A and B are shown apart, each in its own frame.
Chain A
Amino acid sequence: MFKKYPTVRYVLQRAIWYFLTFLVALSLNFFLPRLGSDPVDIMMAQSSFSSPEIRKQTEENLRKEFGLLVLDKQDSIVRDTVRSIVIDTVVNVVADTVIDEQGNVTLDSLGNVVVSERNETVINKHEKIEINAVKASKFSQLINYIGQVFQGDLGTSFKNQKKVSEIIAQALPWTIALQLPAILFGWIFGNGLGALAAYRRGVFDKVIFPLALLMSSIPFFVFGMVLVYFFGVVWDIFPAVGAYSLELTPGFSLDFILSIGYHYILPFFSIFLILAGGQAIGMRSMGIYELGTDYIKYAKWLGLKESRVLVYLFRNAMLPQLTGLALSIGQMVGGALITEMIFSYPGLGMAMLTAIQTNDYPVIQGVTLLITTSVLLANFTVDILIALLDPRVKQSLSMDAK
């Protein structure tokens, strides 16, 4: 199928592969939180209840929320009546008067009735009726979960009864606004620097390269903390926390937009610079490798302008770097989420941190699922971009088809 259109075939193949990966990710997202211990047990242990009935009710609701129970078509819990015979043995002490052969009650020397004691065992049988919610099997739980996710239902937060999808919808724009430009510009800037370092070598390389190496050794959040300390606290040039001034009401006023821009600078640079450092290193090695190839030598012999040669170099070395971007985007997003926490930026990172601190499992699961999904989407996009941009991949695609 699609033999005539190798690119379409390739895109479809990749789409199917990523869909299967998504299913695996969904299963991990479902099973991993249940690996260490039952989250419901953890939450139950944290709260106290006034009566056993309320306790049972809460536990059932939690289990229902987690998809651990069998539900009927009206979404109510299917209950199973368990009848069991309970046998109680009660030992009664019976006191009998002692009667002699003549049928008279025996008296002791003081004239009191003599009593002998014996144990009498009474067996009481009664029926106990327990109404328990029916637990769903692991597999049906998973199917249930996948079904819910595809309907856009990520559950309800335990803490404030908000829909998880609502919480995520509030946080997501902030994260995208912060991370997408930071990762994109960081990638472009870093690769430009790396190509330059590879091409110039000499002093330029000797300064930029170790600097880029040092930058990429700093964890995102550590750099964020350092920026907050100097720019936000010591010199007090930029706001240290939040995405906008809390005195302003969100809206499309100029003040509000300016405030957002003002709060944007520090978190942006703490992601941008670290990321650029890592990319510059990779690009430098790629660039040096490409410099040794025949086409660059040829271009130089032809006497092409330096900037022209640099463009060729950049274009060829960029493609493996694009693959590198796809592969490391998960790590970048993870690091950038922690940066959000340092700046109390109201994005997904902060939502996840709050959820972790309060053991709000549906929110944690919702956020992790969203991160995975966006990383998969980013990878898919890059895969397709490479197929469209890289003549080498393009050619191998049409070779495969033949």
Chain B
Amino acid sequence: MFKLLKNLIKEPMFVIGSVLFLTTILAGLFGPFLYVSMPEGATYEAPSATYLLGTDNLGQDYVALLLKGLQNSLYVGFMAGIIATTVGTLIGLFGGFKGGIVDDILNMFTNLFIVIPSFVVLVLVSASWPEGRSLTLIAVLIGLTTWPWTARSVRAQAASLRGRDHISLARINGATNLEIIFKHILPYLASYVFMVFIMQVASGILSESAISMIGLGPIGEGSTSLGVILNTAKNNSAITDGYWWGIFPAAIVITMIVFALYLLNNSMEGVFNPRLRK
């Protein structure tokens, strides 16, 4: 474990990724509480000493909006990531370990939901929920539509472990299936599952911004997300009127979080998978 960390720290991608990620996490967690929002100004005021990033179409302080949006986007991303990883890992583990008919059924179920675009499912459900779409609802929806990816990759890994000697030994010693799965298979896949989790968080944040962009994102007081900020800016013609501060900060923040997560994932892949190491 220690050696692994030492290897990771030598990777510039890992260092840059974790610094970026920690910064966004801290800003999202504490920013909305620490930053004192400026009083409402005029519509689309350009960035100045008072409004560091200008104001939006309602004259609200963009810094405060971005911090709140970042917090909410991270919440949706993590929540969706946790749901998708848990569901996907469980299904993948059981299918891969059990094999046979259980695997066939779970696998068919997984493949079914991989080919049916999750974007479509998100649009259909959100459109039927015109009122009170909370952040949590969006997160749960995303989590429940993106798990097949996790299930698929975890299943492949679990299946490759099935025939290992230590599994047979555990079985001879009378371990139950659950014990074998959680004690003897999951630990081997822990690093892998963690990497999958990172990717699921990234895709959760991206999905949320995508669904918000088409006006089906979270609605209600205080549920601004980065996607909602971008959608509002677009709907109030911030791009075509040249109010760059309406789109660039939010766009950069989304890109930075996702980039940080991709960097983390890729640097870990390099360490865990010796072949990719130079």
Contacts and interface: CB of A to CB of B under 8 A. Distances in A.
B119 interface: yes
B115 to A, nearest CB: 5
Contact of B240 (A39, A221, A241, A371): A241
Given A222-B254, A372-B116, A372-B120, 5 more contacts: A25-B116, A289-B275, A334-B118, A371-B117, A371-B120
B213 to A, nearest CB: 5
Interface residues on B, range: 35 or more
A371 B118 CA distance: 11
Interface in A340-364: 341-342, 352-353, 356-357, 359, 361, 364
Contact of A368 (B123, B129, B215, B240): B123
Contacts of B215: 353, 356-357
Contacts of B251: 218, 222, 225-226
A371 B123 CA distance: 12
A376 B114 CA distance: 10
**Residue of B129, B248, B262 contacting most chain A CB atoms (<10 Å):** B262
A24 B254 contact: no
Contacts of A228: 239-240
A40 to B, nearest CB: 11
A37 interface: yes
B275 to A, nearest CB: 6
Given A28-B124, A234-B242, A341-B214, A225 B117 contact: no
14 contacts: A36-B128, A219-B206, A222-B247, A222-B255, A226-B248, A232-B239, A233-B240, A292-B275, A327-B115, A331-B118, A334-B118, A334-B210, A368-B120, A375-B116
Interface in B98-137: 112, 114-121, 123-125, 127-130
A285 B270 CA distance: 10
B272 interface: no
B118 A32 contact: no
Interface string B205-225: 010011001111000000000
Contact of A32 (B128, B239, B244, B276): B128
B186 interface: no
Contacts of A218: 251, 255, 258
Contacts of A18: 115
A28 B262 CA distance: 32
B124 A365 contact: yes
B83 interface: no
Interface string B247-278: 11001001100110111001001000001101
A201 B277 CA distance: 11
A34 B127 CA distance: 10
A337 B213 CA distance: 11
A397 interface: no
A375 B117 CA distance: 7
Interface stretch (A84-92, A175-183, A209-217, A310-318): A209-217
B124 A210 contact: no
Contacts of B216: 356
B118 A213 contact: no
Nearest to B257: A217
A29 B124 CA distance: 7
Contacts of A289: 275-276
Interface string B44-74: 0000000000000000000000000000000
A344 to B, nearest CB: 10
Interface in A189-223: 201, 210, 213-214, 216-219, 221-222
Nearest to B128: A36
Contacts of A333: 117, 119
B196 interface: no
The 9 closest A-B pairs by CB, nearest first: A334-B119, A330-B117, A36-B129, A32-B124, A217-B259, A36-B128, A217-B258, A222-B251, A368-B120
